[in-house]
Amino acid sequence: MIITKQILNDLSSKYNLDNNKFKFIIIKNFFKNKYYIYYSSEEYFFEIDKYNNDLKKYFPYFSNLEKLDNIEIWVKSISLTKNKTSRIVSNLKDGLKKRNEFKQKYKV
């Protein structure tokens, strides 16, 4: 499957991601160049060849559905990761009581 910016645009709108954070990057080596699609600040990657074909190497990989293409699995996994991290992080003021209890309990 050839991955285009239009496919990424459609998937990012489907999974509520920022389309502007997708970047096509070439990493030049002495013998062979590697081609990637990064999301955000190079946290998540999807490896492609120079013709933008899928090489089936990507991170993160959370959802395995047979009906989806690898690029859609990757974008869905990014969306799931973003949702999980937003639930874990709490406000500093809200967590103050819990941190103080933890410090007293374990004498940190």
Tell me, yes or no, if the pTM score tops 0.85: no
Band (62; pLDDT cuts 50, 70, 90)? confident
pLDDT above 90 (res 22)? yes
Q: Range of 23's domain?
A: 5-106
More confident residue, 1 or 11: 11
pLDDT above 80 (res 94)? no
More confident residue, 88 or 35: 35
95, amino acid identity: G
Order of strands, edge to edge, in the sheet holding 34-39?
22-27, 34-39, 44-48, 54-59
* Mean pLDDT of all residues in 60-69: 77
Band (90; pLDDT cuts 50, 70, 90)? low
Q: How many domains does the chain have?
A: 1
Pair 69, 1: CB distance under 8 Å: yes
- Taking CA atoms, 32 is separated from 26, 29, 35, 49, 104, in Å, by 10, 5, 10, 11, 55
Where are the strands (E) in the chain, listed by range?
Answer: 22-27, 34-39, 44-48, 54-59
Q: In this predicted structure, what is the pLDDT of residue 82? A: 83
* Mean pLDDT of all residues in 45-53: 94
Q: In this predicted structure, what is the pLDDT of residue 88? A: 58
